[in-house]
């Protein structure tokens, strides 16, 4: 049979008809295609290369028209997309109007349940199993989850239910590559490693036993080896963790051996009770550089396929994440109470230098954001200065912990909220556009947003030296040109500021823009253009503390302006602009207010700049908004009529 990996829309049907040798060829072609696509853009590479054979084996044995497949996180579903009618469009993956980088119900009926955040698949699978039975349908529910995601609270909570739920035809496929983005952590990871190495261990033991039997006195050692056997057996065989939770455990099996996997899945297909199949895969499989460095190639873009080299490394461009890591190392050298916590993202949050410098004060707790927060709260309760560095989108998971464990007890935990705002190609599951809203409502919480890297470092220093109680600092997925990246974040180069006061960046008398974080530079550009082209004097204020508002500033200045504009990279609902609106209403202030921010909608995926443009969060967006009001007449609450024009 012939097929075309890059064009065919019915590959999943062909897969069912192919023999193992043909499937092996297909796997090779899929791999090449994924590498080619991701090398030209940003995407998830290593995880996708790891599940090519697993996906083929599953779709060969099971029936996509009837059985439901739920991919955890779903960053590893490129093969799934290729097989289910989206081969050609794979080239558009993560582009504006292109395919999503994750499973998406909008995109295909085969994307049974969308995801992007980890550890949801088992709970979703359980729900689908209940629905299937209530609707009197049949079909297997297959949940594919990584070893990293399995250690997340939601996965464990759902495991606790599903195995004893009495649901039939449910199968968890544990895709174990011993990696999250970084190395997997914790007891579950160790447990899986033990299972994984056991066959090798048993082979080795057999050999040692054989060699020892030839030596005088070797019998005693053989006795010792035999005694360890029962413990190992217990681990490997029926007493397994998963068995105790109500699943029949199978494995470990080689996730790159198509033949074995297919015959294995054929055998377990008929089993009705809940099963867990432990599959061992290699992250980055088949691409040397990704196999050697799966963390670097987890999410990557723009590399040379021939040598794996990343094309664009600009030494002078420093990300907020890197600046955070560098500054924290400097601060921690001087202050031994500083602790850093990450939820499986040491690289993404810039904490690798901290981990290397202060291993005793660094904690990677895996994808357990709520646990990270409460754990940090306890350290703060004992006087440590705790930084919990989590992307804005993932911190959503821990809102209750922030309220209940941290803010209620007024504990000094500092939330370093990376990727705040539009993140770009990862799309709606990953945009960090809710954090101002979900933090602003919490008593005791202070929220900061730096407008550039220098200010960022100064704020971090202030937080360590002067800050008290729960604090959050949110910063975007952006890089900034820095003259001397090696020294810029040394303590002696960090200037002191008072982040509790807003900063007037540019004075004006007509319009006031109150801008937060990443929007300050856009507001400045808009103000410059208005001055030059239209002679309008715009005051630009860097509203670097979002909560509490700088009430002194507001009291002194707000009524000087005919119009006040707020700009933020957060949803409008409940954001910074809402805070100003509350102030305006509460103080009966007579101004006209306009708010710019993310509308009440989920923003799609695409290039960050493109998405900011679409949402109007750019210089041009600000100008459009201001021009819309110019020349029009408007009323302020006391009925006075003003012309918006000069």
Ligand X SMILES: Cc1ncc(C[n+]2csc(CCOP(=O)(O)OP(=O)(O)O)c2C)c(N)n1
Report how far residue 385's alpha carbon sits from residue 388's, in angstroms, rounded to the nearest whole number: 10
In this structure, are residues 273 and 129 in contact, taking their beta carbons and an 8 Å threshold? no
Q: Which is nearer to ligand X, 181 or 617 (CB)?
A: 181
Q: Which is nearer to ligand X, 127 or 153 (CB)?
A: 153
- Work out how close the CB of 426 gets to ligand X at its nearest, in angstroms, rounded to a whole number: 9
Q: Where are the beta strands (DSSP E) in 91-235?
A: 141-146, 170-176
For ligand X, the binding residue among 82, 99, 123, 149 (CB under 6 A) is 149
Asked if residue 394 binds ligand X (CB under 6 A), the reply is yes
Instruction: Give yes or no: 506 in active site.
Output: no
For ligand X, the binding residue among 60, 86, 167, 283 (CB under 6 A) is 283
| H-run or E-run covering 267 | helix 258-269
Report how far residue 550's alpha carbon sits from residue 400's, in angstroms, rounded to the nearest whole number: 27
Dihedral, CA atoms, 6, 12, 18, 22, nearest 10 degrees?
30
Nearest residue relative to ligand X (C-beta): 146
- Work out how close the CB of 265 gets to ligand X at its nearest, in angstroms, rounded to a whole number: 19
Asked if residue 420 binds ligand X (CB under 6 A), the reply is no
For ligand X, the binding residue among 38, 70, 112, 179 (CB under 6 A) is 179
User: Which stretch, 142-150, 268-276, 377-385, 525-533, contacts ligand X (CB under 6 A)?
Assistant: 142-150
The 10 Å Cβ neighbour count of residue 241 is 16
Asked if residue 147 binds ligand X (CB under 6 A), the reply is yes
In this structure, are residues 279 and 251 in contact, taking their beta carbons and an 8 Å threshold? yes
Asked if residue 434 binds ligand X (CB under 6 A), the reply is no
Q: Which is nearer to ligand X, 76 or 84 (CB)?
A: 76
In this structure, are residues 53 and 27 in contact, taking their beta carbons and an 8 Å threshold? yes
> From the candidates 296, 355, 397, 446, which is the catalytic residue?
397
In this structure, are residues 500 and 339 in contact, taking their beta carbons and an 8 Å threshold? no
At which residue do the structure tokens 């599959």 appear?
279
- Short-list 550, 576, 580, 567, CA closest to 623: 567
Q: Which is nearer to ligand X, 117 or 521 (CB)?
A: 117
User: Which stretch, 25-33, 310-318, 343-351, 632-640, contacts ligand X (CB under 6 A)?
Assistant: 343-351
Instruction: Give yes or no: 385 in active site.
Output: no
For ligand X, the binding residue among 74, 84, 100, 177 (CB under 6 A) is 177
User: By rule CB under 6 A, what string of x and - marks binding of each residue 354-393 to ligand X?
Assistant: -------------x-x------------------------
Hey, which residues between 545 and 564 contact ligand X (CB under 6 A)?
A: none
Instruction: Give yes or no: 206 in active site.
Output: no
In this structure, are residues 412 and 445 in contact, taking their beta carbons and an 8 Å threshold? no
The 10 Å Cβ neighbour count of residue 610 is 17
- Work out how close the CB of 161 gets to ligand X at its nearest, in angstroms, rounded to a whole number: 19
Task: Please give the size of the binding site for ligand X, defined by CB under 6 A.
Answer: 23
Asked if residue 180 binds ligand X (CB under 6 A), the reply is yes
Asked if residue 521 binds ligand X (CB under 6 A), the reply is no
Question: What is the torsional sign of CA 68, 69, 74, 80?
Answer: negative
Using alpha carbons only, give the angle 132, 133, 135 rounded to the nearest 5 degrees.
65
Asked if residue 58 binds ligand X (CB under 6 A), the reply is no
- Work out how close the CB of 408 gets to ligand X at its nearest, in angstroms, rounded to a whole number: 23
The 10 Å Cβ neighbour count of residue 93 is 23
The 10 Å Cβ neighbour count of residue 505 is 17
For ligand X, the binding residue among 39, 74, 175, 542 (CB under 6 A) is 175
User: Which stretch, 140-148, 160-168, 237-245, 300-308, contacts ligand X (CB under 6 A)?
Assistant: 140-148
For ligand X, the binding residue among 26, 343, 494, 611 (CB under 6 A) is 343
* 620-628 CB contacts, 8 Å cutoff, 24+ apart: 620/526, 621/522, 621/596, 622/513, 622/522, 622/523, 622/526, 622/565, 622/567, 622/596, 623/526, 623/529, 623/530, 625/565, 625/594, 625/596, 626/511, 626/526, 626/530, 626/536, 626/538, 626/563, 626/565
Q: Which ranges of 435-518 would DSSP assign to H, the alpha helix?
A: 435-440, 453-465
For ligand X, the binding residue among 148, 325, 424, 470 (CB under 6 A) is 148
User: Which stretch, 175-183, 245-253, 457-465, 515-523, contacts ligand X (CB under 6 A)?
Assistant: 175-183
For residue 252, cis peptide bond before it (omega within 30 degrees of 0): yes
For ligand X, the binding residue among 30, 171, 181, 195 (CB under 6 A) is 181
- Short-list 327, 375, 392, CA closest to 354: 327
- Work out how close the CB of 396 gets to ligand X at its nearest, in angstroms, rounded to a whole number: 9
Report how far residue 529's alpha carbon sits from residue 535's, in angstroms, rounded to the nearest whole number: 9
User: By rule CB under 6 A, what string of x and - marks binding of each residue 63-92 to ligand X?
Assistant: ----------x-xx----------------
- Work out how close the CB of 114 gets to ligand X at its nearest, in angstroms, rounded to a whole number: 13
| β-pair type (248-254, 385-391) | unpaired
User: What phi and psi, each to the nearest 5 degrees, are found at residue 139?
Assistant: 125, 150
Asked if residue 344 binds ligand X (CB under 6 A), the reply is yes
* Half-sphere exposure at residue 412, Cβ-oriented, CA atoms within 13 angstroms: 17
Q: Which is nearer to ligand X, 256 or 283 (CB)?
A: 283
- Work out how close the CB of 254 gets to ligand X at its nearest, in angstroms, rounded to a whole number: 16
User: Which stretch, 217-225, 341-349, 354-362, 475-483, contacts ligand X (CB under 6 A)?
Assistant: 341-349
- Work out how close the CB of 180 gets to ligand X at its nearest, in angstroms, rounded to a whole number: 4
Q: Which is nearer to ligand X, 369 or 539 (CB)?
A: 369
For ligand X, the binding residue among 30, 118, 123, 596 (CB under 6 A) is 118
Q: Which is nearer to ligand X, 123 or 179 (CB)?
A: 179
> From the candidates 53, 330, 369, 522, which is the catalytic residue?
369
| β-pair type (563-571, 592-598) | parallel
Using alpha carbons only, give the angle 97, 101, 105 rounded to the nearest 5 degrees.
75
At which residue do the structure tokens 């290039």 appear?
607
Asked if residue 53 binds ligand X (CB under 6 A), the reply is no
User: Which stretch, 147-155, 238-246, 357-365, 637-645, contacts ligand X (CB under 6 A)?
Assistant: 147-155
What are the residues binding ligand X (CB under 6 A)?
A: 47, 73, 75-76, 117-118, 146-149, 175, 177, 179-181, 283, 343-345, 367, 369, 394, 397
**Residues labelled as active-site residues:** 283, 369, 397
């Amino acid at each position: 049979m012939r097929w075309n990996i890059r064009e065919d829309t019915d590959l999943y049907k062909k897969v069912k008809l192919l023999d193992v040798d043909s499937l092996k060829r297909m796997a090779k072609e899929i791999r090449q295609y994924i590498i080619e696509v991701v090398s030209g853009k940003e995407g998830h590479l290593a995880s996708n290369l790891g599940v090519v054979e697993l996906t083929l084996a599953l779709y060969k044995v099971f029936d996509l028209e009837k059985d439901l497949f739920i991919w955890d996180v779903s960053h590893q579903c490129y093969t799934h997309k290729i097989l289910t009618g989206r081969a050609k469009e794979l080239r558009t993956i993560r582009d504006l109007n292109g395919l999503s980088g994750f499973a998406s119900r909008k995109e295909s009926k085969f994307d049974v349940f969308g995801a992007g955040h980890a550890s949801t698949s088992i709970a979703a699978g359980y729900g689908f199993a209940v629905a299937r039975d209530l609707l009197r349908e049949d079909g297997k529910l297959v949940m594919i989850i990584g070893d990293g995601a399995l250690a997340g609270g939601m996965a464990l909570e759902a495991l606790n239910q599903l195995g004893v739920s009495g649901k039939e035809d449910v199968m968890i496929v544990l895709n174990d590559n011993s990696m999250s983005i970084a190395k997997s952590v914790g007891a579950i990871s160790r447990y899986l490693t033990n299972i994984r190495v056991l066959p090798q261990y048993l082979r080795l033991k057999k050999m040692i036993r054989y060699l020892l039997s030839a030596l005088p006195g070797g019998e005693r050692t053989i006795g010792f080896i035999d005694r360890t056997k029962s413990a190992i057996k217990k681990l490997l065989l029926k007493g397994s963790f998963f068995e105790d939770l109500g699943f029949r455990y199978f494995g470990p099996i080689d996730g790159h051996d198509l033949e074995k996997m297919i015959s294995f899945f054929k055998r377990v297909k008929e089993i009705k009770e809940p099963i867990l199949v432990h599959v061992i895969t290699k992250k980055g499989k088949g691409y040397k550089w990704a196999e050697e460095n799966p963390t670097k190639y987890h999410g990557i873009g723009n590399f040379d396929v021939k040598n794996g080299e990343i094309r664009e490394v600009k030494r002078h461009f420093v990300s907020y994440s890197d600046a955070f890591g560098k500054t924290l190392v400097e601060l921690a050298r001087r202050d031994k109470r500083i602790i850093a916590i990450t939820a499986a993202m040491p690289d993404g949050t810039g904490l690798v230098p901290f981990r290397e410098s202060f291993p005793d004060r660094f904690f990677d707790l895996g994808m357990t954001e709520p646990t990270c927060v409460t754990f940090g709260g306890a350290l703060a309760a004992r006087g440590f200065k705790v930084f919990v560095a989590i992307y804005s989108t993932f911190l959503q998971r821990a809102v209750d912990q922030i309220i209940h464990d941290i803010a209620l007890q007024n504990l000094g935990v500092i939330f370093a909220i990376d990727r705040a705002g539009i993140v770009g190609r990862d799309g709606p599951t990953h945009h960090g556009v809710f954090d101002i809203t979900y933090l602003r409502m919490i008593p005791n919480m202070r929220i900061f947003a730096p407008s550039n890297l220098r200010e960022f470092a100064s704020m971090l220093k202030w937080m360590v030296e002067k800050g008290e109680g729960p604090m959050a600092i949110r910063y975007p997925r952006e890089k900034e040109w820095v003259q001397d990246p090696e020294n810029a974040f040394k303590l002696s180069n960090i200037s002191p500021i008072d982040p509790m006061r807003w900063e007037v960046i540019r004075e004006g008398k007509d319009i006031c823009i109150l801008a937060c974080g990443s929007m300050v530079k856009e507001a400045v550009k808009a103000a410059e253009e208005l001055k030059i082209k239209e002679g309008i004097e715009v005051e630009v204020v860097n509203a670097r503390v979002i909560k509490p508002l700088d009430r002194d500033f507001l009291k002194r200045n707000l009524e000087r302006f005919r119009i006040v504009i707020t700009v933020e990279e957060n949803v409008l609902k409940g954001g910074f602009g809402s805070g100003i609106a509350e102030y305006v209403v509460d103080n009966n202030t007579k101004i006209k207010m306009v708010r710019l921010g993310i509308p009440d909608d989920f923003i799609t995926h695409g290039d960050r700049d493109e998405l900011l443009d679409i949402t109007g969060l750019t210089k041009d967006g600000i100008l459009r908004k201001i021009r819309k009001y110019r020349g029009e007449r408007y009323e302020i609450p006391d009925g006075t009529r003003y012309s918006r024009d000069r």
